[in-house]
Amino acid sequence: MIALLGSLVFAVCMVQPMGGRMRLLAHAQFRYEFLLPTGLLIQLVPPILPASVVQAPLGAVTLLSWLAGSIVLILACALNWGYVGFRLVALGVALNALVITTNRGMPVATAALRYLGVNGTAQQMEALTPLYHLAGDGTTLVLLSDVLPVPGPGLIQSVVSLGDLVLMVGISLVVLDAAKSLLRASRTD
Protein backbone atom coordinates (compact mmCIF):
# COMPACT_ATOMS: atom_id res chain seq x y z
CA MET A 1 0.00 0.00 0.00
CA ILE A 2 2.86 2.38 0.82
CA ALA A 3 4.41 1.72 -2.58
CA LEU A 4 1.11 2.57 -4.29
CA LEU A 5 0.82 5.80 -2.33
CA GLY A 6 4.41 6.55 -3.26
CA SER A 7 3.56 6.21 -6.95
CA LEU A 8 0.70 8.68 -6.50
CA VAL A 9 3.01 11.17 -4.78
CA PHE A 10 5.61 10.65 -7.52
CA ALA A 11 3.02 11.29 -10.24
CA VAL A 12 1.79 14.46 -8.57
CA CYS A 13 5.39 15.69 -8.28
CA MET A 14 5.95 14.97 -11.98
CA VAL A 15 2.86 16.85 -13.25
CA GLN A 16 4.64 20.20 -13.61
CA PRO A 17 7.90 18.88 -15.16
CA MET A 18 5.86 16.81 -17.66
CA GLY A 19 3.96 19.85 -18.88
CA GLY A 20 0.75 19.46 -16.88
CA ARG A 21 -0.88 21.79 -14.37
CA MET A 22 -1.51 20.83 -10.74
CA ARG A 23 -4.57 23.07 -10.37
CA LEU A 24 -6.24 21.21 -13.20
CA LEU A 25 -6.11 17.88 -11.33
CA ALA A 26 -8.85 19.13 -9.03
CA HIS A 27 -11.11 19.28 -12.09
CA ALA A 28 -10.30 15.80 -13.39
CA GLN A 29 -13.49 13.88 -13.98
CA PHE A 30 -13.53 10.18 -14.53
CA ARG A 31 -16.58 8.10 -15.26
CA TYR A 32 -18.08 6.68 -12.08
CA GLU A 33 -15.07 7.88 -10.10
CA PHE A 34 -16.82 7.02 -6.81
CA LEU A 35 -16.10 3.36 -7.62
CA LEU A 36 -12.36 3.89 -7.09
CA PRO A 37 -12.49 4.76 -3.36
CA THR A 38 -15.37 2.31 -2.91
CA GLY A 39 -13.26 -0.56 -4.25
CA LEU A 40 -10.34 0.42 -2.01
CA LEU A 41 -12.57 0.67 1.05
CA ILE A 42 -14.08 -2.76 0.37
CA GLN A 43 -10.54 -4.15 0.27
CA LEU A 44 -9.22 -2.36 3.33
CA VAL A 45 -12.02 -2.44 5.90
CA PRO A 46 -12.14 -6.13 6.97
CA PRO A 47 -8.49 -6.36 8.08
CA ILE A 48 -9.00 -3.45 10.50
CA LEU A 49 -12.27 -4.73 11.97
CA PRO A 50 -12.10 -6.17 15.49
CA ALA A 51 -12.36 -9.95 15.54
CA SER A 52 -15.59 -9.69 17.57
CA VAL A 53 -17.30 -7.93 14.62
CA VAL A 54 -16.39 -10.56 12.04
CA GLN A 55 -18.35 -13.80 12.50
CA ALA A 56 -16.53 -15.81 9.82
CA PRO A 57 -12.80 -16.51 10.00
CA LEU A 58 -11.01 -13.21 9.43
CA GLY A 59 -8.83 -14.70 6.68
CA ALA A 60 -11.87 -15.72 4.62
CA VAL A 61 -13.57 -12.35 5.12
CA THR A 62 -10.39 -10.49 4.20
CA LEU A 63 -9.86 -12.60 1.08
CA LEU A 64 -13.44 -12.20 -0.11
CA SER A 65 -13.50 -8.47 0.57
CA TRP A 66 -10.20 -8.00 -1.23
CA LEU A 67 -11.51 -9.87 -4.27
CA ALA A 68 -14.85 -8.00 -4.22
CA GLY A 69 -12.96 -4.70 -4.02
CA SER A 70 -10.78 -5.83 -6.94
CA ILE A 71 -13.87 -6.46 -9.06
CA VAL A 72 -15.15 -2.96 -8.26
CA LEU A 73 -11.75 -1.44 -9.14
CA ILE A 74 -11.55 -3.35 -12.42
CA LEU A 75 -15.08 -2.19 -13.26
CA ALA A 76 -14.07 1.43 -12.55
CA CYS A 77 -11.04 0.99 -14.81
CA ALA A 78 -13.16 -0.53 -17.59
CA LEU A 79 -15.50 2.46 -17.42
CA ASN A 80 -12.47 4.73 -17.92
CA TRP A 81 -10.77 2.60 -20.57
CA GLY A 82 -9.85 5.70 -22.60
CA TYR A 83 -7.04 6.42 -20.15
CA VAL A 84 -4.07 4.10 -20.76
CA GLY A 85 -3.23 4.32 -17.06
CA PHE A 86 -6.57 2.77 -16.10
CA ARG A 87 -5.84 -0.16 -18.39
CA LEU A 88 -2.60 -0.75 -16.49
CA VAL A 89 -4.34 -0.35 -13.13
CA ALA A 90 -6.88 -2.99 -14.19
CA LEU A 91 -4.07 -5.31 -15.31
CA GLY A 92 -2.19 -4.82 -12.03
CA VAL A 93 -5.30 -5.50 -9.94
CA ALA A 94 -6.11 -8.55 -12.07
CA LEU A 95 -2.57 -9.96 -11.69
CA ASN A 96 -2.74 -9.55 -7.92
CA ALA A 97 -6.24 -11.04 -7.81
CA LEU A 98 -5.04 -14.04 -9.81
CA VAL A 99 -2.17 -14.85 -7.46
CA ILE A 100 -4.26 -14.12 -4.35
CA THR A 101 -7.13 -16.32 -5.52
CA THR A 102 -4.82 -19.15 -6.54
CA ASN A 103 -2.91 -19.11 -3.24
CA ARG A 104 -5.78 -18.06 -0.92
CA GLY A 105 -3.77 -14.96 -0.05
CA MET A 106 -0.66 -13.13 -1.23
CA PRO A 107 2.51 -15.17 -0.80
CA VAL A 108 5.55 -13.16 0.29
CA ALA A 109 9.00 -14.45 -0.62
CA THR A 110 11.13 -15.21 2.41
CA ALA A 111 14.27 -14.30 0.41
CA ALA A 112 12.87 -10.83 -0.33
CA LEU A 113 12.11 -10.30 3.37
CA ARG A 114 15.61 -11.48 4.32
CA TYR A 115 17.10 -9.07 1.77
CA LEU A 116 15.32 -6.27 3.64
CA GLY A 117 16.57 -7.60 6.97
CA VAL A 118 13.17 -8.93 8.08
CA ASN A 119 13.29 -12.40 9.58
CA GLY A 120 9.61 -13.11 10.14
CA THR A 121 7.77 -16.32 10.79
CA ALA A 122 4.49 -17.41 9.24
CA GLN A 123 2.70 -16.57 12.52
CA GLN A 124 4.16 -13.05 12.56
CA MET A 125 3.11 -12.54 8.94
CA GLU A 126 -0.46 -13.71 9.61
CA ALA A 127 -0.62 -11.51 12.71
CA LEU A 128 -0.01 -8.46 10.52
CA THR A 129 -2.81 -9.32 8.09
CA PRO A 130 -4.51 -12.57 7.18
CA LEU A 131 -4.22 -11.73 3.45
CA TYR A 132 -0.45 -12.32 3.39
CA HIS A 133 1.53 -15.46 4.14
CA LEU A 134 5.05 -16.68 3.57
CA ALA A 135 5.60 -18.41 0.23
CA GLY A 136 6.29 -22.09 0.50
CA ASP A 137 6.48 -25.30 -1.51
CA GLY A 138 2.76 -25.18 -2.37
CA THR A 139 2.87 -21.61 -3.68
CA THR A 140 1.77 -21.23 -7.29
CA LEU A 141 2.42 -18.31 -9.64
CA VAL A 142 5.45 -17.38 -7.55
CA LEU A 143 6.64 -14.77 -10.07
CA LEU A 144 3.37 -12.86 -9.59
CA SER A 145 3.55 -12.88 -5.79
CA ASP A 146 5.34 -10.41 -3.52
CA VAL A 147 8.93 -11.24 -4.51
CA LEU A 148 10.47 -7.85 -5.29
CA PRO A 149 12.10 -6.14 -2.28
CA VAL A 150 11.88 -2.34 -2.14
CA PRO A 151 14.67 -1.13 0.16
CA GLY A 152 14.40 2.12 2.03
CA PRO A 153 13.83 3.61 5.44
CA GLY A 154 10.97 2.52 7.70
CA LEU A 155 7.59 2.62 5.97
CA ILE A 156 9.12 2.87 2.49
CA GLN A 157 10.64 -0.58 2.84
CA SER A 158 8.36 -3.30 1.48
CA VAL A 159 8.02 -6.26 -0.83
CA VAL A 160 5.93 -5.82 -3.97
CA SER A 161 4.56 -7.97 -6.75
CA LEU A 162 4.61 -7.59 -10.52
CA GLY A 163 0.95 -6.55 -10.25
CA ASP A 164 1.93 -3.82 -7.78
CA LEU A 165 4.54 -2.48 -10.22
CA VAL A 166 2.00 -2.40 -13.05
CA LEU A 167 -0.45 -0.67 -10.69
CA MET A 168 2.14 1.96 -9.75
CA VAL A 169 2.89 2.77 -13.37
CA GLY A 170 -0.85 2.86 -14.13
CA ILE A 171 -1.63 5.21 -11.24
CA SER A 172 1.18 7.52 -12.31
CA LEU A 173 -0.06 7.55 -15.90
CA VAL A 174 -3.65 8.29 -14.85
CA VAL A 175 -2.53 11.34 -12.87
CA LEU A 176 -0.14 12.59 -15.56
CA ASP A 177 -2.59 11.94 -18.39
CA ALA A 178 -5.42 13.69 -16.54
CA ALA A 179 -3.27 16.77 -15.86
CA LYS A 180 -2.09 16.97 -19.45
CA SER A 181 -5.51 16.19 -21.02
CA LEU A 182 -7.14 18.93 -19.00
CA LEU A 183 -4.38 21.33 -20.03
CA ARG A 184 -4.93 20.48 -23.71
CA ALA A 185 -8.69 20.90 -23.28
CA SER A 186 -8.27 24.33 -21.59
CA ARG A 187 -6.00 25.51 -24.40
CA THR A 188 -8.56 24.61 -27.08
CA ASP A 189 -11.43 26.39 -25.30
**pTM, whole model, 2 decimals?**
0.82
Distance CA 189, CA 87 (A): 28
Q: What is the full per-residue pLDDT of the chain (189 aa) written as tens digits? A: 566 677 777 777 777 777 766 666 677 788 998 999 999 899 887 766 655 555 556 577 788 888 999 999 999 999 999 889 999 999 999 999 999 999 988 898 888 888 888 776 655 665 556 788 888 889 999 999 999 888 877 777 788 999 999 999 999 898 888 877 654 555 554
What residues pair up with 148 in beta bridges, in sequence order? Answer: 160
**Cβ within 8 Å of residue 56, ≥6 positions away:** none
Per-domain residue ranges for the chain? Answer: 2-188
